[in-house]
């Protein structure tokens, strides 16, 4: 009987009881709500200060910057001191570990891209360290070593800025310059990687005035943040730490002037470094003190928050006992009825609907779809919706797969090729990378169909597809656009030599015999290549025309080889220069 009790009958039954307790409950709820809002505000602030990404970003800046990797690296180049080498190796290892921890978190696509840039920078410094050690053993000067191991930090610096912007987007707290952790991190940024110490060491090594100006700007930026820190309520320890940092910055400003004079006198970097060395111990200790004081203040806030939570629990208990005492005798049965027959099913079905609205149609629920109530109607509707949505998704996925995939090989088809081409061109333009389009045509394939049949030809095409997928990266695209015609978009090759190596490797790979039904079938491949510079805006049909022309030239040159299109302007044949050719063993060039 209770299972078929409708909402209309139940609402009439409980109306009087609800009116009696509503006043008392509302008063208690209002009081609790005020306290909860206060705690919620404190919790959001506390949560932001403990955000894992923000912690890792701050730690990464500290590891890379002042007193860290870049500081040790430049000192090693200048002083060739084994002690600096040990510290540098430790900093590089720590930076790599922090990036790996960051990647283990839930990261956006933008964060993944810039973390890859930072990893590349760390790898370059590791390679630079190896090179520097070799040059030091050869007795090379600091200027010579610096010229050899010079690294472009712009991508990594941009990456750090992107990470910070992502954190600000998620936690507004980190955009508030009235917060001590924010100011402490800003001071570190101004002093470290891409900041004062980076520019100062580069100025000593290279004597370029742009590093002098960058050093001055970074020092002024750090002093501005320190000034803002002073305006906040601070402890004696924080005041002493800030004073140590300010004194160190003053010393660096003085040393900059000395370095400038020595550079004008053509002094060597080693001579300048000996004169302008600064004891960073006090400033580094000051930065550590700021962080420790901030941690202590956060722990104090945590304790205060815990006390507030204890108080609210006590208040909730008192209010709950009072309300329960009033309504226990008259509403026990009502509570059980609502909990079992209404609240639990409504929450379950509401959760199911929310999950389905977010795309999760595989969620299960226990409420019976046979009940003759409003909730039963909901359950039946959800069941029908779930079945229909599942069928629709399967159909859409199949349509999408067929529209973008070659049915024989499983490779991308021409539709997917055109779509991916525009995506990669856009990425390459932003990142300043090359793109190579390879038009690939199988040699000696027609005799396969004629002699062994189309089934054997299909098996060969599938084998070629598998080999091409193994030969290229996930960032590249392999597509089949015709019978034995394939197109590969190679994203971000370092230079033309890389493209040539890839073409040679593919030709060698596809020249190997293919086993079909116990027969060894020999084929080969000819490749035409068109290269797009980062600023290129050629539409796909023009690029394919270039690659096809180069492919035609490869076929004409004996097959099983490749050609690179190097035209200026349009794709007219009389404006084409074939810049390179590589042929494999002469016996395999013949179709």
484 is catalytic: yes
Q: What is the rounded CA–CA span in Å between residue 497 and residue 580?
A: 10
Strands 524-532 and 519-521 come out as unpaired
For 538, residues 6+ apart whose C-beta sits below 8 A from its C-beta are 532, 546
- In the block, residue with structure tokens 């964060």: 111
- Picking from 576, 314, 574, 533, the residue whose alpha carbon sits closest to that of residue 431 is 533
Q: What is the rounded CA–CA span in Å between residue 44 and residue 261?
A: 52
Strands 485-491 and 477-480 come out as antiparallel
Question: Is residue 271 exposed (0-12), middle (13-18) or buried (19+ Cβ within 10 Å)?
Answer: middle
Number of H helices, E strands in the chain: 20, 8
Q: What is the rounded CA–CA span in Å between residue 483 and residue 466?
A: 16
Strands 524-532 and 561-565 come out as parallel
Helices (DSSP H) in 176-280: which residue ranges?
A: 180-191, 196-206, 209-231, 236-264, 269-276
C-beta separation of 244 from 302 below 8 A:
no
Helix (H, G, I), strand (E, B) or coil at 569: coil
Q: What is the rounded CA–CA span in Å between residue 422 and residue 417?
A: 9
Helix (H, G, I), strand (E, B) or coil at 54: helix
Backbone angles phi, psi at 310, to 5 degrees: -65, -40
DSSP 194: T
Burial 156-192 (b: 16+ CB within 10 A, else e): bbebbebbbebbeeebebbeeeebbbbbbbbbbbbbb
Q: What is the rounded CA–CA span in Å between residue 516 and residue 518?
A: 5
How many alpha carbons fall within 13 Å on the CB side of residue 347? 6
The CA distances from residue 277 to 30, 201, 280, 321, in Å, are 64, 10, 9, 71
How many alpha carbons fall within 13 Å on the CB side of residue 554? 35
What would the two tokens of residue 299 be?
A: 């722990």
C-beta separation of 548 from 482 below 8 A:
no
Q: What is the rounded CA–CA span in Å between residue 294 and residue 209?
A: 37
- In the block, residue with structure tokens 């990425």: 427
C-beta separation of 75 from 84 below 8 A:
yes
Q: What is the rounded CA–CA span in Å between residue 335 and residue 318?
A: 20
For 181, residues 6+ apart whose C-beta sits below 8 A from its C-beta are 49, 58, 174, 294
What would the two tokens of residue 497 be?
A: 């030599």
From 117, 406, 484, 548, the catalytic residue? 484
DSSP-assigned beta bridge partners for residue 491: 435
| Residue numbers annotated as active site | 484
């Amino acid at each position: 009987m209770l299972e078929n009790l409708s909402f209309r009958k139940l609402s009439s039954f409980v109306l009087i009881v609800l009116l009696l307790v509503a006043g008392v409950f509302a008063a208690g709820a209002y009081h609790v709500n005020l306290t909860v809002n206060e705690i919620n505000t404190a919790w959001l602030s506390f949560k932001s200060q403990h955000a894992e990404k923000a912690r890792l970003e701050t730690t990464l800046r500290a590891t890379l910057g002042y007193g860290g990797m870049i500081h040790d690296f430049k000192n090693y180049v200048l002083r060739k001191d084994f002690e600096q080498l040990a510290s540098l190796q430790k900093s590089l290892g720590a930076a790599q570990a922090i990036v790996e921890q960051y990647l283990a978190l839930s990261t956006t696509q933008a964060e993944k891209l810039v973390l890859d840039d930072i990893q590349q920078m760390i790898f370059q410094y590791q390679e630079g360290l190896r090179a520097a050690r070799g040059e030091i053993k050869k007795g090379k000067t600091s200027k010579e070593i610096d010229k050899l191991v010079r690294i472009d930090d712009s991508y990594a610096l941009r990456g750090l800025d992107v990470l910070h912007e992502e954190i600000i987007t998620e936690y507004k707290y980190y955009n508030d310059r009235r917060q001590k952790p924010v100011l402490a991190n800003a001071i570190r940024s101004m002093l470290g990687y891409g900041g004062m110490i980076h520019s100062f060491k580069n100025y000593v090594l290279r004597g370029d005035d742009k590093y002098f100006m960058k050093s001055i700007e970074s020092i002024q930026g750090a002093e501005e943040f320190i000034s803002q820190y002073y305006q906040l309520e601070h402890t004696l320890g924080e005041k002493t730490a800030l004073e140590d940092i300010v004194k160190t910055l003053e010393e660096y400003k003085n040393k900059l002037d000395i370095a400038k004079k020595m550079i004008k006198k053509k002094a060597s970097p080693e001579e300048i470094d000996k004169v302008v060395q600064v004891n960073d111990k006090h400033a580094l200790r000051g930065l550590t003190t700021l962080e420790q004081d901030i941690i202590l203040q956060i722990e104090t806030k945590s304790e205060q928050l815990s006390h507030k939570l204890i108080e609210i629990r006590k208040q909730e208990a008192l209010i709950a006992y009072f309300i329960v005492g009033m309504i226990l005798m008259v509403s026990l049965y009502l509570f059980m009825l609502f909990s079992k027959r209404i609240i639990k099913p409504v929450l379950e079905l509401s959760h199911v609907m929310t999950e389905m609205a977010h795309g999760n149609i595989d969620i299960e629920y226990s409420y019976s779809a046979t009940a003759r109530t409003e909730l039963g109607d909901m359950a039946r509707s959800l069941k029908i919706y779930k079945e229909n949505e599942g069928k629709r998704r399967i159909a859409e996925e199949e349509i999408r797969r067929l529209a973008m995939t070659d049915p024989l090989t499983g490779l991308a088809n021409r539709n997917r090729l055109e779509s991916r081409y525009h995506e990669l061109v856009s990425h390459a333009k932003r990142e300043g990378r090359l793109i190579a389009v390879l038009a690939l045509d199988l040699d000696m394939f027609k005799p396969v169909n004629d002699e062994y049949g189309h089934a054997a030809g299909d098996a060969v095409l599938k084998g070629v597809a598998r080999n091409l997928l193994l030969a290229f990266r996930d960032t590249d695209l392999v597509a089949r656009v015709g019978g034995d015609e394939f197109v590969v978009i190679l994203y971000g090759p370092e230079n033309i030599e890389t493209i040539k190596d890839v073409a040679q490797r593919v030709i060698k790979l596809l020249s190997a015999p293919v086993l079909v039904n116990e027969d060894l079938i020999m084929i080969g491949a000819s490749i035409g290549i068109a290269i797009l510079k980062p600023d290129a805006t050629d539409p796909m049909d023009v690029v394919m025309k270039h690659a096809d022309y180069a492919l035609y030239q490869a076929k004409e040159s004996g097959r099983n080889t490749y050609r690179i299109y190097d035209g200026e302007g349009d794709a007219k044949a009389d404006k084409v220069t074939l810049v390179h050719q590589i042929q494999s063993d002469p016996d395999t060039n013949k179709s």
